[in-house]
């Protein structure tokens, strides 16, 4: 158990190239579930690998607890990692895979066996201990990878898009399991993903990255409700935040409004934005309605019994405090 | 029509290779009497007479032993040298990687004939002329280019992330190589090593220049060829052919695309 302090970390893969990670400083609290979120190529995986010791930063330091681990090889850092591609050892059985780290530490056999059984139980692999990975499904292999990481009781657990190779249904169930597991372990977890739903549902805090920098770092609700710039607002949420010209709502700059915060009515209302329904997409629990308002498309979420069909006239209104204002030029949020 | 031509051509090619080999087998497993009959019978009479005659001929056991020792030394040396080179080619992007790859192959374009005489001189000076070591060194040099590329292909087929996982879970870089990469590359490495062994076992030119009193089997068979009786020739030919055949049978799948698709 330890916190992670990263300061001034920069990593370039090639001389002269744009840095993959640019002067990042961030502290992950002890026992926190910390998510690095961003589009592909934003540097989140590089940052994770720098924490792991698989990449050497050009500048900056990494502290785990009181230890400066910047120059230490991965094995001396007391951490574990779950890889995107599982990375289970094909030549070892499930039990040998899970016990690998402990065997490397030369722990007594009985302790290794007990830890393997415990970790395998956590991820429901108890019946598969003697199998080889080739006889397992993708989801089971990822469970092996998680169990292998948990078994060493690391002070820091790193996860690199552990769910992205699983199919949608499995991803959802495994996500809940991971969250439950994290609660049980109380380990500091750094979790990399490009999936904003994963980030919001799992993280105690989410750091949104773009072009090698952390753009915003906060609780899931903070980054969702109060994005610091248009990028974050557009990256989080399904559908992304609507970005409308501010004049429409009597302000300057760009008005960022979440689809679920827009109230639609089929009767004219004072101060409401008039538009016409262009497209209705049933999502099961809600309707995703695209409304053409002037030259703008506005996405709104409505109850399934919303009466307007294609081509119907609707009036959209938003509570002023639900609008997030951005500067038109800098794209930064105008108020804290 | 196309198919007929294609298969016909393939059959012709296969026959061109296989028919002589078949007669070698027939000759090697027939009694001396039937070997001398003309035309040769299409089936062997399954006698070990020729083989026994060959193996017990003066000089053959020593030559066979030399060949095997040379081949094994070659196999081990080649693997030891090719593994790091192949690993580097497979894992690291370094300036001149593709040029290096080309250079490795280009060494094969260098004629052995030109190389052999000066080598013989050097080996004489070093005192390893006419020894298994001299021949093995030469064969290692001959096998290396191919084996380096084969081994690079093998390593490229082992995912990087299991190597990284091994490092995370307690291995040093070399430990990760030993515990995660080697076990998964073992079949491919074995195939590459066997390839070197066979290349050495069947190599005759360099071996004949570098040996005098201690010839390897192909050299011994070649020098005695004109005076040797027919059964000896058949059995000798089979002895030289058989390992390569067995090897191809066993690792056919791994030989396809060596240094090709897996290695960009």
pLDDT digits (tens, 9 = 90+) for A285-319: 999 999 998 888 999 999 998 887 888 899 998 88
Instruction: Measure the CA–CA gap between A200 and A129, rounded to whole angstroms.
Output: 33
pLDDT at position B256 is 53
Flag whether B263 is in a domain.
no
- In tens, the pLDDT along B19-72 reads 888 888 888 888 877 777 777 777 878 888 888 888 888 888 899 999 999 999
CA distance B95 to chain A (A): 12
User: Angle CA(A294)–CA(A296)–CA(A299) in degrees, nearest 5?
Assistant: 120
Q: What range does the domain containing B189 cover?
A: 59-226+235-255
Nearest CA in chain B to A101: B169
- Please check whether residues B162 and B204 belong to one and the same domain: yes
Kindly list the residues from chain B whose CB atom is less than 8 angstroms away from the CB atom of residue A91: 183-184
Nearest CA in chain B to A88: B162
**Cβ-defined contact of B184 to A75 (cutoff 8 Å):** no
pLDDT at position A336 is 52
- Please check whether residues B117 and B190 belong to one and the same domain: yes
- Please check whether residues B105 and B190 belong to one and the same domain: yes
Flag whether B53 is in a domain.
no
Q: Which residues pair with A218 in a beta bridge?
A: A206
- Please check whether residues B96 and B8 belong to one and the same domain: no
**Cβ-defined contact of A75 to B168 (cutoff 8 Å):** yes
Residue ranges of domains in chain A, CATH in brackets: 4-233 (3.40.50.300), 239-326 (2.40.50.140)
Q: Is the minimum CB–CB distance between A87 and chain B shorter than 8 Å?
A: yes
Write the DSSP assignment of B26-90 as a string of letters. HHHTS-HHHHHSSSPPSS-----HHHHHHHHSTTHHHHHHHHHHHHHHHHHHHHHHHHHHHHHHH
Which CATH number do you get for residue B145? 1.10.3720.10
Q: Is the pLDDT of residue B264 over 60?
A: no
Which residue, among B165, B171, B178, B189, would best test binding to A if mutated, counting the most A CBs under 10 Å from its CB?
B165
pLDDT at position A1 is 65
Which H/E stretch holds residue A63?
Answer: strand A59-64
**Cβ-defined contact of A52 to B168 (cutoff 8 Å):** yes
- Please check whether residues B209 and B119 belong to one and the same domain: yes
- Please check whether residues B160 and B135 belong to one and the same domain: yes
b/e map of B112-140 (b: 16 or more CB within 10 Å)? eeebbeebbeebeeeebbbbbbbbbbbbb
- Please check whether residues B125 and B41 belong to one and the same domain: no
pLDDT at position B261 is 39
- Please check whether residues B103 and B161 belong to one and the same domain: yes
**Beta strand pairing call for A296-302 and A254-257:** unpaired
Flag whether B52 is in a domain.
no
Would you tell me how many other CB atoms lie within 10 Å of the CB of residue A19? 19
Flag whether B26 is in a domain.
yes
Flag whether B203 is in a domain.
yes
- In tens, the pLDDT along A84-106 reads 999 999 999 999 999 999 999 99
In 3D space, the residue among A231, A234, A225 whose CA is nearest the CA of residue A211 turns out to be: A231
Flag whether B149 is in a domain.
yes
Instruction: Measure the CA–CA gap between B152 and B156, rounded to whole angstroms.
Output: 6
Which residue, among A13, A53, A54, A149, would best test binding to B if mutated, counting the most B CBs under 10 Å from its CB?
A54
CA distance A104 to chain B (A): 6
- Please check whether residues B30 and B71 belong to one and the same domain: no
**Cβ-defined contact of A75 to B159 (cutoff 8 Å):** no
Instruction: Measure the CA–CA gap between A285 and B147, rounded to whole angstroms.
Output: 61
Helix residue ranges per DSSP H, A75-158 = 94-104, 109-122, 138-151
Flag whether B183 is in a domain.
yes
Q: Is the pLDDT of residue A6 over 90?
A: yes
Q: How many CA atoms lie within 13 A of A178 on its CB side?
A: 29
Q: Is the pLDDT of residue B248 over 50?
A: yes
Q: What is the mean pLDDT of chain B?
A: 85
Instruction: Measure the CA–CA gap between A184 and A171, rounded to whole angstroms.
Output: 20
- Please check whether residues B115 and B199 belong to one and the same domain: yes
Instruction: Give me the number of domains chain B comprises.
Output: 2
Mean pLDDT, range B69-83, rounded to an integer: 95
Kindly list the residues from chain B whose CB atom is less than 8 angstroms away from the CB atom of residue A105: 170
What Cα–Cα distance (Å) separates residue B229 from each residue in B43, B119, B181, B233, B242?
Answer: 20, 34, 51, 7, 20
pLDDT at position A103 is 95
Kindly list the residues from chain B whose CB atom is less than 8 angstroms away from the CB atom of residue A145: 165
Q: Is the minimum CB–CB distance between A133 and chain B shorter than 8 Å?
A: no
Of B159, B168, B183, the CB nearest to A85: B159
**Cβ-defined contact of B168 to A79 (cutoff 8 Å):** yes
Kindly list the residues from chain B whose CB atom is less than 8 angstroms away from the CB atom of residue A86: 161
Q: Is the minimum CB–CB distance between A52 and chain B shorter than 8 Å?
A: yes
Flag whether B188 is in a domain.
yes
Backbone angles phi, psi at B37, to 5 degrees: -75, 150
- Please check whether residues B83 and B194 belong to one and the same domain: yes
Q: How many CA atoms lie within 13 A of B245 on its CB side?
A: 11
**Cβ-defined contact of A87 to B172 (cutoff 8 Å):** no
Q: Is the pLDDT of residue A267 over 60?
A: yes
What was the ipTM of the complex prediction?
0.86
Q: Is the minimum CB–CB distance between A79 and chain B shorter than 8 Å?
A: yes
> What proportion of chain A, given as a percentage, has pLDDT over 90?
71
Instruction: Measure the CA–CA gap between B170 and A53, rounded to whole angstroms.
Output: 12
pLDDT at position B259 is 43
- Please check whether residues B171 and B194 belong to one and the same domain: yes
Strand order in the sheet with A254-257: A242-245, A254-257, A324-326
What Cα–Cα distance (Å) separates residue A174 from each residue in A16, A83, A159?
Answer: 41, 15, 13
């Amino acid at each position: 158990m330890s916190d992670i302090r990263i300061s001034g970390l920069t990593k370039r893969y090639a001389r002269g190239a744009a840095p993959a990670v640019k002067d990042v400083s961030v502290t992950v609290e002890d026992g926190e579930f910390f998510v690095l979120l961003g589009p592909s190529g934003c540097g989140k995986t590089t940052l994770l690998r720098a924490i792991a010791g698989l990449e050497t930063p050009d500048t900056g330091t990494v502290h785990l607890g009181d230890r400066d681990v910047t120059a230490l090889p991965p094995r001396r850092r007391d951490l574990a990692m779950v890889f995107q591609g599982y990375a289970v050892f094909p030549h070892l059985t499930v039990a040998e895979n899970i016990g690998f780290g402990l065997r490397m530490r030369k722990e007594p056999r009985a302790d290794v066996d007990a830890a393997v059984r415990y970790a395998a139980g956590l991820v429901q692999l108890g019946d598969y201990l003697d199998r080889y990975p080739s006889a397992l499904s993708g989801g089971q292999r990822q469970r092996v990878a998680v169990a292998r990481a948990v078994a060493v009781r690391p002070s820091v657990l790193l996860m690199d898009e552990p769910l992205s190779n699983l199919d949608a249904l499995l991803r959802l169930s495994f996500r809940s399991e991971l969250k439950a597991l994290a609660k049980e372990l109380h380990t500091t977890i750094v979790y990399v993903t490009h999936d904003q739903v994963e980030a919001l549902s799992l993280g105690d805090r989410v750091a949104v990255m773009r072009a090698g920098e952390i753009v915003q770092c906060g609780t899931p609700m903070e980054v969702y409700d109060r994005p610091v710039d248009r990028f974050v607002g557009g990256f989080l949420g399904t559908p992304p935040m609507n970005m409308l010209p501010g004049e429409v709502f009597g302000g300057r700059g760009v008005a960022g409004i979440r689809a679920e915060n827009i109230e639609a009515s089929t009767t004219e209302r004072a101060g409401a934005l008039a538009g016409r329904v262009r497209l209705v997409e049933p999502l099961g629990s809600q309707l995703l309605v695209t409304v053409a308002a002037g030259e703008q498309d506005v996405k709104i979420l409505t109850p399934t019994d919303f009466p307007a069909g294609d081509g119907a006239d609707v009036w959209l209104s938003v509570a002023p405090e639900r609008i997030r204002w951005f500067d038109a030029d800098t794209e930064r949020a105008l108020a804290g | 029509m196309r198919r007929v031509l294609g298969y016909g051509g393939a059959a012709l090619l296969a026959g061109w290779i296989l028919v002589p080999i078949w007669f070698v087998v027939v000759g090697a497993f027939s009694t001396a009497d039937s070997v001398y009959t003309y035309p040769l019978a299409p089936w062997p009479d399954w006698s070990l007479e020729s083989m026994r005659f060959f193996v017990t001929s003066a000089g053959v056991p020593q030559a066979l032993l030399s060949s095997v020792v040379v081949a094994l030394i070659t196999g081990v040396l080649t693997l030891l040298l090719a593994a790091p080179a192949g690993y580097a080619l497979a894992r690291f992007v370094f300036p001149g990687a593709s040029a290096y790859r080309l250079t490795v192959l280009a060494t094969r374009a260098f004629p052995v004939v030109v190389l052999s005489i000066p080598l013989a001189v050097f080996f004489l000076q070093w005192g390893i002329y006419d020894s298994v070591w001299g021949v093995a060194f030469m064969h290692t040099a001959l096998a290396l280019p191919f084996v380096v590329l084969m081994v690079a292909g093998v390593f490229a087929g082992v995912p990087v992330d299991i190597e990284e996982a091994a490092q995370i879970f307690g291995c040093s870089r070399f430990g990760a190589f030993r515990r995660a990469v080697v076990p998964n590359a073992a079949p491919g490495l074995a195939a590459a090593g066997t390839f070197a062994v066979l290349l050495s076992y069947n190599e005759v030119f360099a071996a004949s220049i570098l040996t005098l009193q201690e010839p390897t089997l192909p050299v011994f068979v070649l020098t005695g060829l004109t005076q040797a009786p027919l059964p000896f020739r058949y059995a000798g030919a089979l002895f030289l052919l058989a390992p390569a055949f067995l090897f191809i049978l066993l690792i056919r799948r791994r030989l396809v695309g060596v240094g090709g698709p897996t290695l960009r």
